[in-house]
């Protein structure tokens, strides 16, 4: 058995400091061995079973000491037992001093009895071990004797091993009660730093997170609240998530002072690392289009930031619809809007026109489509628009809308004949007539509509 003790050193109380550095350091240590435990503010690793995998003990220790960690300053110690490594870490002994020379302060179980033991002349582990075991157990309890046996390897080390959770759920108790929603962002930044470490170890990106808070229960109001943040694509950019939280928290009014925060992941997705490039054109600066749309949606509301979405429908008025910009992220996420070394991407190639019939490309469509068709006046059954119209191309027959609507609405059957026509002013227009109105009884209805204009 061989144990390594790691202890994160105190750092300045910055807004992006980790809310639980010991747990994050334990998550990081899981890459070296599955036997990781947290004891007080120290992370303990049992690495004897992993030495061969890493090419020997020296190589494993060098990797642990020199590799990048989520905490900047970490103290180290090692030993044959977990309490021996922990004692050397507390005593600040970098060299492998014998266990008998360690001070009693380095044995956690002896700390409640330091004053009594000092008056008895016991200041080191060796002096404590030399005392009669029966009297030691009767006076100080069996826990001290069990800890001493565990430190010298006479009793096995038994700990609940740490594991990386499948779902991130972290809580933070605030030092003082917060009465403003904007001030919650300071504590949320610490939780986001914890989330970033979890995402890096899991190789995931978040699609939805929830920031919750617990308010003072003594107030006669609601005791809990939360905001939900969604992203269009899996993201591990904490700065972007922080901006979205700031926009949402600016719209929240707290009913009572907040005592604690909780951040949890609602939906995650595997994140694929982007390949780096040596070309200057690949070094993009600033926020992406998707991040900008998400920030605007969080600030103004999803119903006020819209984008045009093409629809698989042959009826001209139903071929496009305005939807929330963040509800159709695929084409936005893949559209770069610039030329790359490997070629140029466009909405058509990236899925922006997915589901649209390819036959539309060969259809003569007008530049401007009217929001509502306008009924034309007819002179001797000839439609007029600033003069009589001359039919140039047509008819283009359209039969659509006979299928039931998914929302349960009545089907809107459309039977039309479209024509390209020209008026005396050489303006090209797009007109149609309803086929259901042709030839009812002995009368013939000849109703024409203007639906678009060619530029």
- Are the C-beta atoms of 189 and 16 separated by less than 8 Å? yes
Pairing state between β 368-375 and 448-453: antiparallel
- pLDDT higher than 50, residue 116: yes
- Are the C-beta atoms of 351 and 312 separated by less than 8 Å? no
C-alpha dihedral (41, 185, 177, 228), degrees to nearest 10: -100
What pLDDT digit, counting tens, does each position of 168-225 carry? Answer: 999 999 888 888 888 888 889 989 989 998 998 888 999 999 999 998 888 777 788 8
In angstroms, the CA 391 to CA 179 distance is 71
Q: Mean pLDDT across the stretch 55-60?
A: 91
Question: For the chain, percent helix, then strand, then coil, each to nearest 5?
Answer: 30, 30, 40
What pLDDT digit, counting tens, does each position of 219-264 carry? Answer: 777 788 899 988 888 888 888 899 889 988 888 888 888 999 999 9
- Using the 8-state DSSP alphabet, how is residue 124 labeled? B
Q: Report the predicted TM-score, pTM, of the whole model to 2 decimal places.
A: 0.64
Q: How wide is the angle at C-alpha 299 spanned by C-alphas 298 and 304, nearest 5°?
A: 85
CA-wise closest residue to 159 among 86, 226, 76: 86
DSSP letter string, 68-123: --SSS-EEEEEESSHHHHHHHHHHT--S---GGGSBGGG-GGGGGGHHHHHHTT--
Backbone angles phi, psi at 166, to 5 degrees: -75, -30
pLDDT band of residue 319 (cuts 50, 70, 90) is confident
CA-wise closest residue to 167 among 117, 227, 209: 209
pLDDT value of position 11: 64
- Are the C-beta atoms of 57 and 24 separated by less than 8 Å? no
Mean pLDDT lowest among 27-31, 75-79, 202-206, 360-364: 360-364
pLDDT value of position 280: 62
């Amino acid at each position: 058995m061989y144990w390594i003790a790691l202890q994160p050193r105190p750092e300045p109380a910055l807004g992006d400091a980790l809310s639980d550095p010991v747990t994050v350091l334990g998550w990081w240590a899981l890459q070296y061995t599955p036997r990781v435990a947290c004891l007080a503010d120290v992370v303990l690793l049992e690495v004897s079973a992993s030495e061969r995998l890493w090419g020997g003990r020296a190589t494993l220790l060098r990797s642990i000491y020199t590799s990048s960690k989520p905490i900047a300053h970490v103290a180290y110690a090692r030993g044959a037992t977990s309490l021996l490594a922990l004692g050397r870490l507390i005593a600040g002994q970098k060299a492998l001093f014998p266990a008998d020379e360690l001070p009693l302060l380095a044995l956690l179980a002896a700390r409640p009895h330091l004053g009594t033991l000092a008056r008895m002349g016991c200041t080191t582990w060796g002096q404590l071990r030399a005392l009669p075991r029966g009297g030691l157990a009767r006076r100080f309890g069996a826990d001290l004797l069990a800890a001493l046996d565990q430190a010298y390897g006479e009793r096995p080390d038994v700990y609940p091993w740490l594991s990386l959770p499948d779902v991130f759920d972290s809580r933070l108790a605030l030092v003082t009660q917060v009465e403003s929603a904007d001030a919650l962002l300071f504590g949320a930044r610490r939780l986001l730093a914890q989330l970033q470490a979890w995402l890096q170890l899991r190789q995931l990106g978040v699609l939805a997170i929830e920031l919750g808070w617990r308010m003072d229960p003594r107030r006669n109001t609601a005791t809990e609240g939360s905001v939900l943040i969604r992203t269009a694509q899996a993201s591990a950019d904490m700065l972007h998530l922080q901006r979205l939280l700031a926009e949402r928290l600016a719209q929240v009014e707290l009913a009572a002072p907040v005592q604690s925060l909780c951040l949890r992941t609602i939906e995650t997705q595997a994140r694929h690392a982007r390949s780096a490039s040596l070309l200057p054109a690949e070094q993009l600066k600033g926020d992406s289009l998707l991040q900008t749309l998400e920030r605007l949606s969080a600030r103004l509301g999803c119903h006020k930031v819209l984008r045009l979405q093409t629809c698989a429908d042959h009826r001209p008025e139903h071929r496009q619809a305005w939807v929330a910009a963040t509800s159709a992220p695929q084409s936005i996420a893949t559209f770069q809007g610039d030329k790359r070394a490997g070629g140029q991407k466009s909405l058509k190639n990236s899925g922006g026109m997915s589901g649209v019939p390819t036959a539309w490309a060969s259809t003569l469509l007008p530049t401007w489509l009217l929001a509502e068709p306008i009924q034309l006046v007819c002179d001797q059954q000839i439609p007029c628009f600033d003069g009589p119209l001359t039919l140039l191309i047509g008819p283009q027959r359209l039969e659509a809308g006979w299928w039931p609507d998914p929302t349960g609405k009545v089907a809107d059957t459309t039977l039309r004949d479209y024509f390209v026509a020209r008026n005396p002013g050489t303006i090209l227009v797009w007109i149609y007539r309803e086929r259901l109105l042709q030839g009812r009884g002995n009368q013939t209805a000849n109703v024409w509509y203007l639906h678009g204009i060619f530029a």
